[in-house]
Amino acid sequence: MSWMRALIAILIIGGALALPSPVSAWQGGSDSTELTDPLAPSTPGAESQESKPGQRRLLGLLFAGDPAGIAISVLILLLSVVSVYFAIEHAITITKNKLMPEDVLAELEQRIARGEIDEAIDFCHDPASYSLVSEVILAGLERYRSSEYGFAEYKTAVQEAGEDATGRLYRKTEVLNVIGQVAPMLGLTGTVLGMISAFMTIAEKQGMAKPEELAGGIGEALITTLLGLVVAIPSLVALSYFRNKIDSLIAEAGKRVERTLLPLGRKRV
């Protein structure tokens, strides 16, 4: 998950700062008297040891820019945590068992078939039996009981309640959509700030800036774009998955509600 990767990156950066610099170790003073022959064959572990500082520098780009760039990086990381939270929450709540529990539907179907409309309404009002389908069925039952021509009007109430419940489900997933749209824009903002910082450094040095003096701005430009995409892509994938799942569940719930309320279509005698 994105927030776990961010935490691991922060821990690695902290460990990198605690290690001695390879350059300072080479320049350590009178004890460092031996020089390595550049033509001598390298040992098997030498390449891996040389790659570690580069990896640490790559991870260090996360906090190498100016305060504005660091703030953008932190904000994108916070958005990743929010995205993971809502993805987990939707995975738990947007399920068939939560939206249309079988035991609740079976009980309502039996009571309505027996003509126990008041008992069915009381059952729907019970918080223990609340679900999306019980809310929709309750709207149809109340319209049926309150109107003389309720047998002909309950379908309208069911349709209105179903549309309202579906809209609430879609609005729940809108957070993932916002994160998927905002994260790349924040990354682009960090890219622009990083390039401005790099060009200002070049101007201050009259075109003679050293690579290490430009590393902060260029690193900020690259890392914020990467972070924005890493957060946005999974968020948009999760959004598409949950919205397709909502469509499927709502279609199935509509058929089940219609079957449950079918006895109400008979005209009152």
**Rounded to an integer, what distance in angstroms lies between the CA atom of residue 175 and that of residue 244?**
16
The reported pLDDT for the residue numbered 202 is 63
Show the tokens assigned to 36.
Answer: 């390595």
CA 179, 12, 43: angle at the middle one, nearest 5?
Answer: 130
> What is the pTM assigned to this prediction?
0.69
| Residue 134 CA from chain centroid, whole number | 29
pLDDT tens, position by position, for the chain (269 residues)?
443 444 344 434 433 433 333 333 333 443 433 444 444 444 444 444 444 544 445 556 566 556 777 788 889 999 999 999 999 999 999 999 999 999 999 999 999 888 888 899 999 999 988 999 999 999 988 888 887 766 677 888 889 999 999 999 999 999 999 999 999 999 888 877 777 776 676 666 666 656 555 555 566 667 788 889 999 999 999 999 999 999 999 999 999 998 888 888 765 54
